[in-house]
Homo-oligomer: A and B are copies of this chain.
Amino acid sequence: MLTETTSAAVPVNPSRGTLRPLSLSQVSIDSGFWADKQQLNASAIIDHCEYWMEKVGWIGNFDAAVEGRLPADRTGREFSDSDVYKLLEAMAWEIGRTGDSRLDERFRALVARIAPVQEEDGYLNTMFGRPGQEPRYSDLQWGHELYCYGHLLQAAVARGRTVGADDEFVQLARRAADHVCDVFGEGGIESVCGHPEVEMALVEFGRFTGETRYLNQARLFINRRGTGTLGDIELGRSYFQDDTPVRDAEVLRGHAVRAVYLAAGAVDVAVEDDESELLDAVVNQLDRTVARRTYITGGMGAHHEGESFGMDFELPSDRAYSETCAGVGSVMLNHRLLLATGEERYADLIERTLFNVVATSPAADGKAFYYTNTLHQREPGSTPPEDEPSPRASSSLRAPWFEVSCCPTNVARTLATLGAYVASSTPDGLQVHQYAAGTISADIDGGTVAVRVETEYPTDGVIRIVVTETIDSDWELALRIPGWAADGATLQDGDDVRELAPGSATARRAFAVGDELVLTLPVTARWTTPDPRIDALRGQRAVERGPVVLCAESTDVAFTDDVDELRITGELSEQGGEVTVGVHRMVAPEHTWPYGVEDAEIAGETHSIRLIPYSSWANRGPSTMRIWLPLEDDVRA
């Protein structure tokens, strides 16, 4: 058994803000949907990532560096080091969460292979700087060196906050962080990394170490971004957000992962600097992005080309890129804004994105992943190879690994830190943002308060909060009422039953141990209509159930393999949590030209087909799938 988890095991720990984060030791998720995913991470996903990075040689690149076999023996893309660091981050949080000493040994073994690669001045990268390689920092547009440091620092924060600042890996990271400040500080290279990431990592490393130079460096990077220091590329400067200064931009744009990572770093800088101009800029950018450039799943990024956001309301289901990493980054960004502002709408988007993007990526066995998360699969596609990496955007079945494989490790570190999103505290109370069976405790003015959460959410909407530790004076328990729960949410507090509107429901008093609040959220299947400005969704409806987006998968349809033939009647029913929808089959005769002929027909009887959670689709072999289903009056015979 390893050391006790420290009380500071907090992934994001701002020095100010409306809400204070809880540490991973203050929150446990004990059963249900997310407990199962955490268990899957512990038992399969982390192992799988390590196995594959040994197999494809990305860990071996560090050995090759030590043994002088670079560049000849290097494998993987220029950013492959970062995935090793993301694996270390996932391991570190997981070690902190569970005290798994076997995992700790593996962590140390990996670090022992990486450490000798670091150079005297702190530089650490397997891709650049050796004879036969390009020089250090010779390709800031695409080289990803600072991006790799970002993931290194985030892993080090995880390690430092779970086992302590003296850890060898933390010291290694500190040398790297100092190197970055030395080289990219005032008077140094006046540019940024083509892929934002180091900004939020530097701020967090500064929060962890108490060293201000890291925040200063992050601020420099944020301020330089958008001033054109990277030069132009065919995809346009917006690809890496170097088109417009962060404070002047009006919306998230370009490469979606880059955009949300940058925005998260900007929030971190704004919070530490208490700079409302920067914070407001990101808030406004995200507001517009959520209102106009986000999929119903919470997914971001409509274009395969450039893995980028589309224009406002350009949200095609069948070419949804919706990269898993963009979902992870959106969760990180929204978490920071939730802490900064206390507004539950950020927790709403975290919930939506966790259930419908992050949870969608891993297969049921944790051994294959989606990189992109399409909302519409037109053709069943084929099973990816088991023994070699797949192209990242194959959009068919989940693949064991990718040539660019940022997503599996991102899922791993997110699942290891799920507890961070569950609740927060203020001096006078506790706020529950995400509902999962488990325990939450917080240190507030006057002592420690704690609750037990009993629920089968999101299968069921009843959430029972039982006070298990309390203080003598009044304190406030606040519960998020999701935006989707506009009708029918209630809170029972003793004999009092209140109807609730979306936002936050609070109870304030001197709670006694054993006091119970019962929140009931209207978790039943409901139709959802799209904004009429989204061309791709015209004449279609989706079904959601609580925070979960449902879909029709051909595996559940008896009469056709092609879900594009389904036309919904409007009948929706639910029995024992299973949702079915009435459909007709559309038959469109073949023509030589697809315009100007109106003879499609509705054929035969009404069928009732099962809808399943989108996150679980494609676990039963190749299939076709739709989230948005056309209305039958679309067919004008």
Nearest to A304 among chain B residues (CB) is: B305
Asked, given contacts A305-B305, A319-B316, A597-B531, whether A591 binds B291 with beta carbons under 8 Å apart, the answer is yes
Residue contact B483 to A538, C-beta cutoff 8 Å: no
Q: Are B529 and A595 in contact (CB under 8 A)?
A: yes
A residues 502-530 near B (Cβ < 8 Å) are: 528-530
Report the separation of the CA atoms of residues A287 and B593 in the bound assembly, to the nearest whole angstrom.
Answer: 9
For residue A418, CB closer than 8 A to chain B, the reply is no
Residue in chain B with minimal CB distance to A486: B596
CB of A44 closer than 8 Å to a CB of B: no
Which of A303, A311, A532 is most buried by chain B, counting CB atoms within 10 A of its CB?
A: A532
**Could you tell me if A597 and B529 are in contact, using CB atoms closer than 8 angstroms?**
yes
Beta-carbon nearest neighbor of A628 in chain B: B535
Cβ of A531: which chain B residues have Cβ within 8 Å of it? 588, 591, 594-595, 597, 600
A234 within 8 A of B: yes
Q: Once the chains are docked, how many angstroms separate the CA of A591 from the CA of B532?
A: 12
Does A130 belong to the interface (CB within 8 Å)?
no
A189 to B542, CA, bound (A): 54
Q: Which residues of B contact A530 (CB under 8 A)?
A: 594-595
- Which residue of A313, A483, A590, A596 has the most chain B CB atoms within 10 A of its CB atom? A596
Q: Pick the contact of A533 from B292, B529, B538, B588 — CB < 8 Å?
A: B588
In the complex, how many angstroms separate the beta carbon of A348 from the nearest chain B beta carbon? Answer: 8
Contact A595 B528 (CB under 8 A): yes
Complex Cα distance, B529 from A539, in Å, reads 15
Q: Smallest CB–CB gap between A232 and chain B, Å?
A: 9
A320-351 vs B, Cβ < 8 Å mask (1 yes, 0 no): 00000000000000000000000001000000
How far does the Cβ of A597 sit from chain B's closest Cβ, in whole Å? 7
CB–CB A540/B542 < 8 A: no
Taking CB atoms, residues of chain B closer than 8 Å to A186 are none
A532: nearest residue on chain B (CB-CB)?
Answer: B600
Asked if A290 lies at the interface with its beta carbon under 8 angstroms from chain B, I say yes
Give the size of the chain A interface in residues (CB under 8 angstroms).
61
A35 contacts chain B at the CB level, 8 A cutoff: no
State whether A378 touches B317 (Cβ < 8 A). Answer: no
Q: Which residue of chain B is the closest to A531 with respect to CB atoms?
A: B594
Roughly how many angstroms separate A434 CA and B287 CA in the complex, as a whole number? 53
Residue of A305, A316, A595, A630 contacting most chain B CB atoms (<10 Å): A595
| Contacts of A574-590 to chain B: CB distance below 8 A | 586, 588, 590
Closest Cβ–Cβ distance, residue A401 to chain B (whole Å)? 14
Is residue A488 within 8 Å, beta carbon to beta carbon, of the partner chain?
A: no
Tell whether A70 is near chain B: CB-to-CB under 8 Å.
Answer: no
Q: Judging by beta carbons under 8 Å apart, are A590 and B291 in contact?
A: yes
- Closest chain B CB from A505 CB (angstroms): 19
Q: Determine whether A430 belongs to the interface, using a CB cutoff of 8 Å to chain B.
A: no
Interface residue A4 (Cβ < 8 Å from any Cβ of B):
no
User: Do A592 and B345 touch (CB < 8 A)?
Assistant: yes
For A636, give the chain B residue with the smallest CB separation: B529
CA distance A11 to B433 in the complex (A): 70
A window 360-405: CB within 8 A of B: 376, 378-379, 391-393, 403
A635 near B: Cβ within 8 Å? Answer: yes
Whether, in the assembled complex, A296 has its beta carbon less than 8 Å from a beta carbon of chain B, the answer is: yes
Q: How many Å lie between the Cα of A529 and that of B637 in the bound state?
A: 11
A598 within 8 A of B: yes
CB distance from A118 to the nearest CB of B (A): 31
Across the interface, which residues of B come within 8 angstroms of A593, CB to CB?
290-291, 483
A634 within 8 A of B: yes
| Of the residues B311, B591, B595, B630, contact of A538 by C-beta under 8 Å | B630
- The answer to whether A484 and B314 touch (CB under 8 A), given A304-B303, A319-B303, A539-B539, is no
Given contacts A304-B304, A305-B305, A600-B532, contact A538 B634 (CB under 8 A): yes
608-637 of chain A: CB within 8 A of chain B: 630, 634-636
Alpha-carbon distance A630/B634, docked complex (angstroms): 12
| Nearest CB of chain B from residue A568's CB, rounded to whole Å | 13
Known: A313-B594, A596-B484. A536 touches B536 (CB 8 A): yes
Q: How far is the CA of A594 from the CA of B535 in the complex (A)?
A: 12
Q: Quick check: B376 and A535 within 8 Å, CB to CB?
A: yes
Contact of A532 among B304, B483, B535, B635 (CB under 8 A): B635
Q: Which 6 A-B pairs have the closest CB atoms?
A: A531-B594, A304-B305, A538-B539, A305-B305, A539-B539, A532-B600
Cβ contacts A to B, 19 pairs, < 8 Å: A234-B392, A234-B403, A236-B391, A287-B592, A292-B594, A294-B594, A296-B595, A303-B305, A311-B318, A312-B378, A316-B536, A376-B535, A483-B592, A529-B595, A529-B596, A529-B598, A531-B597, A533-B588, A538-B630
Q: Other CB < 8 Å A-B pairs besides A528-B595, A532-B630, A535-B536, 14 of them?
A: A290-B592, A291-B590, A291-B594, A304-B305, A305-B393, A310-B318, A310-B319, A311-B378, A313-B594, A317-B535, A484-B596, A530-B595, A532-B586, A533-B588
